[in-house]
Amino acid sequence: MSKRGNQRMATRLIRQQKAKEARRNRSIRVSAITAGVLLLVSVGAYAVYANTKDTAHNVPQSTNASGTGIVAGSGPIKVDVYQDYLCPSCRAFHSAAQERLQKMVQDNQITLATFPIAILDRLSTNRYSTRSAAAAGCAADGGKFAQFSDALYAKQPAEGGAGYTDAELVAMGRSAGLGDAFASCVNDGTYASWPSFATDESSRRGVTGTPTIFVNNQKVTPAQGQTITDAVFNAIAAQS
């Protein structure tokens, strides 16, 4: 091949190589732009989810700063009780400890925060855990949270069946000294979404069952042969 022919071939190869590189660079740019768009869409979608999750709920009166628990008292020792109104162990703890805890509240020894959560809806046919917790929020508005909790535990329904209807919850509230405002709150579902919010927040604290109790932010775990009630009061005594 002549010298001129070699030069033409070399020029053609160079052009082909440059064209190939240009196509590759365009492909890389398009892929990068596509990935960036997808990332922005994903971030945007998550932001929308994060900003809307657990925001559509009303909060009862007398709750803590996070709006998850009903607070009584202002003593120096913090006692946080996570409970489900369908939980038999919660009823046992309530029966054994509530009177003494309320006395400590009155004597300004403790700040008692009660968190009505709903982890046992699956064990009733009408989401009793959620509905009873929502009704307890209505009772808090009426200043009768403790009395209504006493009534709920005194007549705790069995697991596996239907819990009380809203009408029956209203009747229990009236027996605890609550009136028409309470009835409207229950019937209107004012706090229907609050228990779900409180339950979600409890899981962030490591609550996986009920009753779960913290004393000054330390989870109380009974020693061997010890009841949760004894463990709680021992933990309170140790902080006094």
Residues in contact with 223: Cβ distance below 8 Å, sequence separation at least 6, in sequence order: 231
| pLDDT tens-place string over residues 180-227 | 999 999 999 999 999 999 999 999 999 999 999 999 999 999 999 999
Q: Residue 64: is it exposed, middle or buried by C-beta count within 10 angstroms (0-12/13-18/19+)?
A: middle
According to the model, what pLDDT value does residue 56 have?
Answer: 80
Nearest to 68 by CA among 173, 155, 198, 170: 198
CATH of 70-239, one of 3.40.30.10, 3.40.50.620, 3.40.50.2300, 3.50.50.60: 3.40.30.10
Residue 237: pLDDT band (50, 70, 90) is very high
Type of residue found at 77: I
pTM comes to 0.77
> Is residue 208 classed as helix, strand or coil in its secondary structure?
coil
| pLDDT tens-place string over residues 70-111 | 999 999 999 999 999 999 999 999 999 999 999 999 999 999
**In the chain, where the domains are located:** 1-53, 70-239
| pLDDT tens-place string over residues 155-188 | 999 999 999 999 999 999 999 999 999 999 999 9
| Ramachandran quadrant class, 100 (left: phi over 0; alpha: psi -120 to 50; beta: rest) | alpha
> What distance in Å separates the CA atoms of residue 128 and residue 47, rounded to the nearest whole number?
33
